[in-house]
Amino acid sequence: MEILKFDNLSKFNTDIIHFVSQKDGFDKNKTESLNLSLFNAKKPEVVIAKRKKLAKKVGVSIEELVFAQQIHGDNVFIAKKDDCGSGVFKKESAIRNTDAFISKEKKVCIVILVADCVPILLFDKEKKVIAAVHAGWKGTLQEIVAKTIKKMKKDFHCKSENILAGMGPSIGSCHFEVKKDVFDKFRKAFGNYNEALMQGKKRMFIDLWELNKQQLLQAGLLEEKIEIMEKCTVCEDDKFFSARRGQKGRFVVGIVLK
């Protein structure tokens, strides 16, 4: 079982643990994919067992995990020690109406569930502040990653030049085809000539990686501190869940301060 990591964040292993799970899971015969979401689980006990194995694999306690009831919005939640365990054993206990976490406290493992949406991890190496962002197309349109960084600055006095960013597996521009109504919303928000918006004679595509990178740069992050895995969940649906492929499972992306 392989856990993916970002090269830039891995340089700070003395400060943080971070991880990206893959769907082939823990079963040697790979007959059971690694769905880590309780929200669509037929057998919650199976998901919980897999969460325990994942936590052990990456070196955290399952009780330290914090999950959200993600709604494709732009709400940013400050996770504290008292929030540990939220959504771990019961989906009803997950932090409500939240699509991004920030934490300053140790052993608070903030986790987001994804299947095509863009997962983004942030780490201020000076202030020791972490964040996990769920940026689907709606979240990208609402500039959730920019709002997360703004809150990191306001609440914890973070500086853009000290923040590292890792953008995980998600739908690439090769497969994120949209209809005109969605395309027009992006064009209105980000400009008619934005390179992330690609319009042909009959088909329209959007590059969510590029749009979120633009937001990170506009927020003041240094380009050399932004890492994009460039793994398309639709292209690599044998490794990652993809809603566009009709898959109901979710993989996780998480980060915790040691």
Residue 194: alpha-carbon gap to chain centroid: 24
pLDDT (tens digit per residue) in 50-60: 999 999 999 99
Rounded distance between C-alpha atoms, residue 240 and residue 192, angstroms? 32
- Looking at residue 31, what is its pLDDT? 43
Whether residue 188 lies inside any domain: the answer is no
Backbone dihedral angles phi then psi of residue 136, each to the nearest 5 degrees: -75, -170
Phi-psi region for residue 97, left (φ > 0), alpha (ψ -120 to 50) or beta?
A: left
The owner of tokens 């769907």 is 23
Whether residue 193 lies inside any domain: the answer is no
Q: What is the CATH number of the domain that holds 46?
A: 3.60.140.10
- With vertex at residue 63, the alpha carbon angle to CA 254 and CA 45, rounded to the nearest 5 degrees, is 90
pLDDT at 178 over 60: yes
pLDDT at 143 over 90: yes
Whether residue 231 lies inside any domain: the answer is yes
If 0-12 CB within 10 Å is exposed, 13-18 middle and 19+ buried, where does residue 34 land? buried
Task: Name the band, by pLDDT with cuts 50, 70 and 90, for residue 26.
Answer: low
Residue 65: its H or E element: strand 65-66
- Looking at residue 12, what is its pLDDT? 98
Whether residue 200 lies inside any domain: the answer is no
Q: How many CA atoms lie within 13 A of 236 on its CB side?
A: 17
Task: Name the band, by pLDDT with cuts 50, 70 and 90, for residue 23.
Answer: confident
Whether residue 213 lies inside any domain: the answer is yes
Domains in the chain, number: 1
Find the DSSP H helices in the chain.
7-10, 44-58, 137-141, 144-156, 180-190, 208-218
Q: Give the alpha-carbon dihedral of 82, 111, 247, 57, to 10 degrees.
A: -110
Task: Name the band, by pLDDT with cuts 50, 70 and 90, for residue 96.
Answer: very high
75 against 191, higher pLDDT = 75
Rounded distance between C-alpha atoms, residue 112 and residue 255, angstroms? 10
| pTM greater than 0.75 | yes
Whether residue 182 lies inside any domain: the answer is no
Rounded distance between C-alpha atoms, residue 101 and residue 90, angstroms? 19
Cβ proximity of 24 and 30 under 8 Å: yes
pLDDT at 24 over 90: no
Whether residue 195 lies inside any domain: the answer is no
Residue-number span of the structural domain to which 165 is assigned: 7-170+209-257
Whether residue 153 lies inside any domain: the answer is yes
Backbone dihedral angles phi then psi of residue 16, each to the nearest 5 degrees: -135, 160
- The closest alpha carbon to 213, from 185, 181, 190, belongs to 190
